[in-house]
A = this chain, B = another copy of it.
């Protein structure tokens, strides 16, 4: 395990240190802490209270909160990002030896960089290209013609289908399926005729895709996920969607086909986006929101309704279902009031 002094951390990240520069930091912790060699962070000023009982060795926080810290502190305007970087130093990724596990199957014509690590029981199809320092954990499939750029990491049991392209440093978590055939059918009488899905998926650099998430290949053109996009677990991205750079999508969200989500969007958990829509840059959709029309203005949009005790909710839903009648009754009262006023005049 790594071991860094507070003084080294302050120098390395250009931070003001208040406290003992010789304090050795060996692990991260919550504010509740776990001893003098731990470091925590406080990003949310509303949690300042929690500093009272802080038992971490040191804490990273905003300069404005320095006075509230009972322990050594490093001051940063972005404590969470600094914490992320320090944690990455304290917990370096295990070095992975280059080479191909003997149980892996590499089809003829695949090109695997000599610095890549191909884990146990991986399958790499004909014509696939595996770049420098790529890591494939156990049980990954990279189908024919797919291309993984340098430093891509497939954690374990990831499925990358034909001709999919994945940009440098992207990380795919277990169970992710990239490039399955999209849900494209033409109705003919009562049957559905499958429409060949001849596009593929292009994923940019520094993308992260969660466990059991699915990204379908394009029907004609490609499904495109731009650089820096982060997608959580169990998300569905339909064929021919495009997702702009640095957008983040939380778990259980779903995008139907051919929708275009802008850059720097934040999509909450369980959100649904219908097909063939355009959502502009810098849109936040809170959890459980349903989008069925274009969104042309940046901002926050919502659609979920928070829970109520069941009996109250049943009454509310009953009223809601009769809201049309209620509105008509109000209209009638207004009419009567207007007439009544008239009569009274």
- A interface vs B, CB < 8 Å? 27-30, 43, 78, 80-81, 83-85, 87-88, 90-91, 101, 103, 105, 119-121, 123, 125, 137-139, 141, 143, 155-157, 159, 161, 171, 173-175, 177, 180-181, 183, 185-188, 190-196, 198, 206, 208, 210-212, 214, 216, 220-221, 228, 230, 232-234, 236, 238, 245-246, 248, 250-252, 254, 256, 263-264, 269-270, 272, 274, 284-293, 295, 299-317, 319-324, 326-327, 329-330, 333-334, 336-337, 340-341, 343-344
Contact = CB atoms under 8 A, between A and B. Distances in A.
A319 B190 CA distance: 36
B250 A87 contact: no
Contacts of A330: 326, 329-330, 333
A303 B299 contact: no
A146 to B, nearest CB: 12
Question: Which 7 pairs between the two chains have the least Cβ-Cβ distance?
Answer: A80-B186, A300-B310, A180-B211, A302-B313, A123-B138, A81-B186, A252-B254
9 contacts: A29-B220, A30-B221, A91-B196, A123-B138, A238-B251, A269-B272, A299-B310, A326-B326, A336-B337
Copies, count: 3
Contacts of A337: 333, 336-337, 340
B228 A183 contact: no
A332 to B, nearest CB: 8
A12 B195 CA distance: 18
A302 to B, nearest CB: 4
Contacts of A301: 307-310, 313
Contact of A177 (B119, B175, B274, B310): B175
A166 to B, nearest CB: 16
Contacts of A329: 330, 334
B180 A159 contact: no
Nearest to A246: B190
B313 A303 contact: yes
Nearest to A103: B105
B316 A272 contact: no
A46 to B, nearest CB: 11
Contacts of A324: 312, 315-316, 319
Nearest to A285: B307
Interface centre among A174, A234, A238, A317 (most CB of B within 10 A): A174
A289 B334 CA distance: 34
Nearest to A315: B324
A249 to B, nearest CB: 9
A272 to B, nearest CB: 4
